[in-house]
Structure 1
Amino acid sequence: MIGNELAQQGISWHFIPPRAPNFGGLWEAAVRTVKSALKKEIGSYHLSFEDFSTLLVQITAALNSRPLVPLSDDPLDVDVLTPAHFLIGSTMTALPETDLRAIPTNRLTHYQQRQQLFQRYWQRWSKEYLTEMQMINKHRQHISINVGDLAVLREDNQPPLYWPLARITKVHPGNDGVVRVVTVRTKNGIYKRPVCRICPLPSNCDLLQNRPGI
């Protein structure tokens, strides 16, 4: 039943060989960043079972909010496919919270202390995750930055579960032909950004060509 339904929708499955985690570079890199941020930000705290369970649920929501690939090739569309689409059919969202990271812990309520931990985790993990994605893109020799590509902007102090997205509208190559600056369109306007501050999302073709490994 499930196989027939997937076949009708044109969905095909690609599996990696058994005991070959190096073939799954994208998700293995994601697992590494999750463990690293969890150890650095929360490893020294003694949390109750309820607090730790709640924190893990928030972290799971953050992981499931990460952009995977564009939903369309429309240059005006900045919607992306996320893991949450496979779970709830839409993107993950979070209620806006006051930034508590710089406030001394002894001035916070119990709830605020837990939120402070999550905010610190989010800031570290999201930066490390985008850094990993940029490194993976550098290893894909055939991938270049093109007009119309969808990218995640590396902006500072973004709230949890928020990923600033933009379409590349113009590239600015240097005298050597290397693109180091791009013009991007966001929901708030058009800006110039250095390439080091953007993380282009892979297309479906890129994923299929790179599925044997990174």
Structure 2
Amino acid sequence: MVIRAVHIELAYDLSGVSFLQAYRRFIARRGIPSIIFSDNATNFQFGAKIIKKLSDQTWCTQEVQEWIVHKGTQWKFTTPRNPRKGGAWERMIGVVKNALKRSVGKKLLDHVELATLFIELEAMVNSRPLTYQSDGEPLRAIRPIDFLIPYAPAEINFANIGDDSDYEEEMSREKGLKNMREINKKLNKFWDFWKSQYLLSLRERGEKIGKNTGKEPQVGEVVIVEEDLPRPLWKLARIIDLIRGRDGIIRTVKLNILGKIFKRSITQIFPLELSSEQQLLKFDNLRIEI
């Protein structure tokens, strides 16, 4: 929750055993969580009971068992039939699930295709800008993925694969390339829908804060600019002037984008997920305190 990263894990079914296998994969890649938040699904309740009794289990190392027994992993369940209690993480899950349904539709994917898609979607979502690092120019976004893979580059795009004469496959080359292109189409669909829903959630959150506090966009504030960019790229800009209409309402802003000045409608800019008032950033050792 601190770095707001998303981890997507493919489970065989909704059983408690499948959950525990997914949990094992999670701690092997991400480490042992200090707190787990979840709804009241029976597989989660089963998992919580098992984790509390890890001293009797043999599937994890002695070090892991001792850590959990002595330090403890707290499991916190939301109020039954009240998903809003999940707050930020429930909203992010909802946006990702809706975008996934839109991108895949009714098409059936095999296990390998689905696992590949999930991991690439995870990287895409974790490449969203949370805030920025420098007060100077150019602005550098700080993303959830930077805390997992520091300074990770943008993803590899497989859209143009197929022209390399050195690429040979003993099995079906065309089938492999077709599979890659199909996955790429789904990723593009996911990106388009997820980005629009994520920006909408930022706007709604900003409007709610503004309504409660009277806060308006400020000169010097860094914002996301809505642009038609390839996944998973985002454009950041700094507000340098506010242009009000005759009614006194801000309708247009002047932005500094990579040293150039542009005018944009107020509807084309979005607040960052973490604003300067909400955070105390410590980028040393990739730590962030909220």
Q: 1:207 to 1:27 in 2, by over 3 A?
A: farther
Q: 1:200 to 1:91 in 2, by over 3 A?
A: farther
Indicate conservation of the 8 Å contact 1:151/1:167, yes or no: yes
Residue 224 (structure 2) aligns with:
152
Task: Report the Cα distance in structure 1 between the residues aligned to 2:256 and 2:86, rounded to whole angstroms.
Answer: 32
1:132 matches 2:201: yes
Question: Alpha-carbon deviations, 1:101-139, whole Å to 9, x = none?
Answer: xxxxxxx82211111111111111111111111111100
Residue 19 (structure 1) aligns with:
78
Indicate conservation of the 8 Å contact 2:137/2:258, yes or no: no
Task: Report the Cα distance in structure 1 between the residues aligned to 2:77 and 2:178, rounded to whole angstroms.
Answer: 48
Task: Report the Cα distance in structure 2 between the residues aligned to 1:51 and 1:93, rounded to whole angstroms.
Answer: 21
1:54 matches 2:126: no
Q: 2:258 aligns with which of 181, 187, 196?
A: 187
Question: Alpha-carbon deviations, 1:127-182, whole Å to 9, x = none?
Answer: 111111111110002332011111111113x2111011111111111122211110
Q: Which has the higher contact order (CA 8 A, sep 6+)?
A: 1
SS of 1:109's equivalent in the other structure is: helix
Q: 1:121 to 1:181 in 2, by over 3 A?
A: same
CA RMSD of aligned residues (A): 2.6
**TM-fit CA distance, 1:199:** 0.6
Unaligned runs of 5+ in 2: 1-36, 38-75, 161-176, 281-290
Over alpha carbons, which structure has the higher Rg?
A: 2
Identity in percent: 30
1:86 matches 2:147: yes
Aligned length: 184
**TM-fit CA distance, 1:82:** 1.1
**TM-fit CA distance, 1:29:** 2.2
Residue 11 (structure 1) aligns with:
none
Normalized against structure 2, the TM-score is what? 0.57
**TM-fit CA distance, 1:83:** 0.7
SS of 1:170's equivalent in the other structure is: strand
1:45 matches 2:107: yes
SS of 1:54's equivalent in the other structure is: helix
AA partner of residue 203 (structure 2): Q
SS of 1:206's equivalent in the other structure is: coil
Show the 5 A alignment for 1:139-178: 139-141=208-210, 142=213, 143-156=215-228, 158-178=229-249
